[in-house]
Structure 1
Amino acid sequence: MTMNNPAVPGTPATIYTGVTASLNIVLTNDTGADINLTNAASLEVFMPLYFTAAQLEQMTISNITPAGWTFSYNSADMSLQLNWTGGNAPWFSNGAITFSINNVLTSNPPTADVVQINLNDISGTNVPSQVSSALALVAQPAPGNLNLQQVLSVAPEFGGAVYVSAISNPLTNTLYLNLKNIGSTPLFNGNNMWTGSPKVSVSFVYGTTSGSLAPDDKQQATQTGSAWAISAGIYVDQTGGWSVQNPSVTGQANSPTWTLTPNNTNKQIIGTGDQSNVTFSFANIISMTPTGPTQMYVQFSGFMANDGTHYNDTVFVVPISKQIPPNPGAIGIYSLAETIPVNSSTEQVSIPLTWSMFGVGSVKLSFYIPGMTIPEQKYTYGTTAHPALNYDTEHPQITGITKTQTLTVYCWAYSDSNWQNLLNKIQCTVPLIFPPVINSFTIQTATIVPPASYAFQLNWNIEGQNSFEIVADDGSGTTRQLPIPQTATSYIVNPTSPQTTYTLNVYGDNTNN
């Protein structure tokens, strides 16, 4: 099923609150065989819950092909109904039923939902009982509003991979969705607290096809592989706090939507630097659909940029790759922190690492920085059994970082729980940023060695530097760099001018910053 609003290009189909729209719908027979239609066949179109009964009654369906379908409003279940009146006829394989829904209008606040179509008394091999397509309700863009897509990155971790499986051996997946502020200021950068009800609505493509993640039939919500079983949570939050609301199968909604909201004390919503990320997990995903790409819809509504400026509502389309299960071993490893700050060589630096694996009994992490010896870290996942598909997050700590450099992390995966039978090894890199710092720079008198008339000892304590220099300025107009070894922490000087100034410069990288 595909659906679009010709007045608002893009995916998913989008309508504006308070603006009348039309929706064009295409139902394609992709079952692989012809479907026989009889006069008992009907299509029931259930519009999102944000439409009232009065608004539904005003809607009509037109431009129906092929001929033989008639439209009526079903007040009993509040559906837009198409009845087949053409007698026995084939719905050819790869053939399409197309129609337009007119007078689509609601004044409700922005949210996300789906248009669901039930296929009644239409039988055949692989014919689904229902299909659905997302319909985003957003506020109409306004002059002066800002574009969230320019300051926010919305992306899956681990490439958005979901491994499909069979009912006889279901694999439970977890998707991780990262929201990252890529702007130079906090997402909300006002003097006062933001107002309104900003929220993020998350949904998937539902169904049993290659382009779907999982079915959302409420009558089969307890069966393995239902989208209703997916549970969202906060995985890593570097911000001032977010909350998650999971959908309830006992609610009125026909399809599940997960709602993510910033806490009402989280002024910046998403900050900058080490406060620029929030990652959500979507667990209990079991996909028994064919492999292929699908997507997650992430809709932002009601967000403010500052005290007097709003962002336009927008929908991010996040790709998901459904794949066959991999060979046993480590699949991917990454650090959510793009860079990790270091402030002292004695500091215990925490490295946030997350990895995914398949059929792994134990993992060893080893670390490499030139000239350093860093202890390995080991993790085990049970003595007799472990999940076929598994994820882990740890925060190993290392000390002795003396300057800005890159940490290489190796993840060794083993089939047993004792780190004996190696399956594979993967790696990632983590930049460690140690800004150069001058802890002290002092001068004291020293023993005079003739023919010098004066002698002083310069002492310094510096960290994080790639190099340093001390420059002498005796007031003559020409400065002189002292010939000091890079390993030195003191140096004797013999000034000959009445006043000499010594300046210590430290550099953090090869570009002399």
Structure 2
Amino acid sequence: MSQTDPKAASIGGAATISITVIDTATGAPALQSGVTSTLSVTLTNTGAAIALANGAQPATLTLYLPEYIPASALAAMAISLDQWQFEVSTTLGALILSYAGTDPGEWLGDLAFEITGVLCDGPASAGSFQVNFSHMPGAPAQLSQPLPLTEAPQPGNASLAQALQVSLDNQGSVFVSTALDPLSNSLFLNIRNIADQPLYTGTGTPSEAQITVSFTYGDTSGALAPAATNAPTTPPLGSAWNITGEVYVDQTEGWRVLPSEPQDRQPVWRLAPETGNTDLIGTGAHSNVTFRFGNIISLTAVGHTQMTLSFTGFRKNDTTLYDSLVLTLGIVKQVAPPTRGLLSFFGTHPPVISVPDDKSPVTIPLRWSMGGVNAVQLFTSFPGIAPVTRTYATPPNTPKPLDYDGESVIIPSTSQSGLVTTTLQALDAQGAFLNALQFSCYLQLMVFVDPRDNKTYPISLLNSKYWMTRNLDYNESGSFAYNNMQSNADTYGRLYTSSASSVLTPPAGWHVPTLQDWQDLVNSFATPQAAYQALTGTGTGQLAAQLGGKYVPSASTSQFADLSVRGYYQAVNGATPSFVTFDGTTQTVLLGGTLPADAALSVRYVKDT
């Protein structure tokens, strides 16, 4: 009887097996404490078909659940898989699947089944799901995937996924090799706080926060490297137990890497804050920490595998917890290039770098990997930045077959947004050119410099558009300071009629927002009331709309009204002037309305797209 997936196609040669294990309720490669779960297990063979013997020595899968699940819990579990017999082995502390087809079969493609009744009430913990293959010629001895235990989500908890950006440099590339010519790789894990406040803002010490890191282990194309159960005294070449972990670049108040513990069945690294780290991960220049996992020698076939991270014990403040978070990051295993030179060149920041003002320096962190390179030269397109030269080996010494390096380019300041291109050249021992790679990033100056008077205004990206976050204060005909007092203009900006040049002909690259611009911005919130609260907020990256009042010519004694009560903003609606009102009495935002044509209102600009 065949166990071949008809959708699979053999590529010949050895079996190429990968494993995927997820909780069917969450879709995540993790279990939740105190929740009875069903695990979906998929073993995928994309290589040569594997024979499935029956009879006295049948093909057998021995399934070891994570270490945190007690052996007594196995009795409640069950597996139903056509032509396979299921049993619980109390001796091994494992679940057993034995092939019981009437005739011998073969396996190609997906072999999928579910394990029901999986329950553990323990605290958050690292762990792995391991499959041992017996009497299956061509299959690996074992294959495992991280399967951490996390706390179940709770109402009122905050989301780490909305606060963190987690990635591997260079898309997680690893070069496979052989025992006769091994290559040592490194993976760089970046964790960045993208929120507008530190990850922890409480008064205590967030010492319980922890990130566990592990990989898929085995000797197939779907695994990074094999890892014998429990750490050997002297791990062999290519074992995952040889992988090291360290803090590479730390812009925070301090993190550390803890090695595997004695109870860990397979390699696990625990990333934890240092004792003096009071905000976990800060903001701005303190928002990133990078970890390096080195000495990775993968003597396996090319393919895709993964790193699994489990975030547990994180608090937002003294009263609010973060829900646990499990992430998987893809790793691409590939053959090393046959020629010498640069292999990759990239920036560790997003390709668009926000520059807070026209006086702050800008740091562009760069990294590269290379093979057989004696020296490199780094050139930057920004005027005044001197070239950088790095020498790695001079005769009679020879360069490494695989190496990594990095450099931070510092732009002293910039008065305008623009593209910065860096070029990295690789050289041999004689200084001859090997190859070159380029990396470009865009410096987005988060201020608008008014060319008419050189005043600067902060800007922010709101609903995919850049908005000024302070009212315009350019003195011209058709503009007024509230009550004709300069102190009011300094605080609230000036008020402009619809015929003022600042409204009709703004500086190049900017425009008075259309009524549609305003409507799109307001509609990005659930209600006009929610929009008012958010758009009048003064935190980092917010619009900070002001209640600057209005000027309406009249015969009355006061032509100015509503300061600190309402804010009125010019809006363009085709050829018809319009406006938007931030009403402090009703705490809402109103779009459109009727005002005299010569009324003067506040002005914000939006960057042209």
TM-score normalized by the length of structure 1: 0.76
Identity, in percent, stands at 32
Is 2:35 aligned against 1:19? yes
Establish whether residue 35 from structure 1 lines up as the match of residue 46 from structure 2: no
- Checking the alignment, whether the CA contact within 8 Å between 2:245 and 2:269 is kept in structure 1 is yes
Tell me the secondary structure at the aligned position of residue 316 of structure 1.
strand
Distance in 2 (CA, whole Å) between partners of 1:95 and 1:168 is: 32
- Mapped pair 1:469 → 2:453: yes
Matched, 1:73 2:84: no
Distance 2:50 2:349 in 1: 52
Whole-angstrom distance in 2 between the partners of 1:105 and 1:432: 50
Q: How does 1:128-277 map to 2 (within 5 A)?
A: 128-190=140-202, 192-195=203-206, 197-218=208-229, 222-247=235-260, 251-277=262-288
Change over 3 Å in CA distance of 1:375–1:79 after alignment to 2? same
For residues 470 and 244 of structure 1, what CA distance do their matches in structure 2 show?
Answer: 48
1:119-178 CA-partner distances (Å, limit 9, x unpaired): 23x142x32111223323111111111221112111111121112222222221111111
Find the counterpart in structure 1 of residue 291 from structure 2: 280
Where structure 1 has 5 or more consecutive residues not aligned to the other structure, the ranges are: 437-464, 472-477, 482-499
User: 1:61 aligned to 66, 78, 82, which one?
Assistant: 78
Q: Secondary structure at the match of 1:154?
A: strand
Q: Distance in 2 between matches of 1:349 and 1:70?
A: 61
Alignment of 1:49-448 (within 5 A): 49-56=67-74, 58-67=75-84, 69-75=85-91, 77-82=92-97, 90-94=104-108, 99-120=113-134, 122-124=135-137, 126-190=138-202, 192-195=203-206, 197-218=208-229, 222-247=235-260, 251-326=262-337, 327-337=339-349, 339=353, 352-369=365-382, 372-383=383-394, 384-395=397-408, 401=413, 403-404=415-416, 406=418, 408-429=420-441, 431=443
CA shift at 1:19, angstroms? 1.8
Structure with bigger strand share is 1
Q: How many residues align?
A: 444
Separation of aligned partners in 2, 1:239 and 1:293:
32
Cα separation, 2, equivalents of 1:296 and 1:366: 34
What displacement does 1:107 show? 1.7
Change (3 A) 1:236 1:196: closer
Could you say which residue in structure 1 is the equivalent of 2:466? Answer: none
Contact 1:367–1:409 under 8 Å retained in 2: yes
Distance of aligned partners of 1:479 and 1:211 in 2 relative to their CA distance in 1, 3 Å threshold: closer
User: 1:389 and 1:179 mapped to 2: Cα distance?
Assistant: 25
Measure the CA separation in 2 of the matches of 1:195 and 1:377.
40
Paired amino acid for 1:246: P
Per-residue deviation at 1:280?
0.9
Tell me which of the two structures has the higher relative contact order, counting C-alpha pairs closer than 8 angstroms and 6 or more residues apart.
Answer: 1
The C-alpha deviation readout for 1:14-40, integer Å capped at 9, x for no partner, is 221112223243445555133242523
Separation in 1, partners of 2:219, 2:132:
14
Give 1:53 shift: 3.5
Contact (CA 8 Å) 1:364, 1:419: kept in 2 or not? no
AA aligned to 1:44 is: T
2:548 counterpart residue number: none
* Structure 2 unmatched ranges of 5 or more: 1-18, 456-473, 478-485, 494-506, 511-604
Give the match's secondary structure for 1:310: coil
Counterparts in 2 of 1:430 and 1:246: CA distance versus 1, 3 Å: farther
After TM superposition, the score normalised by the length of structure 2 is: 0.64
Asked if structure 2 preserves the Cα contact closer than 8 Å seen for 1:70 and 1:84, the reply is no
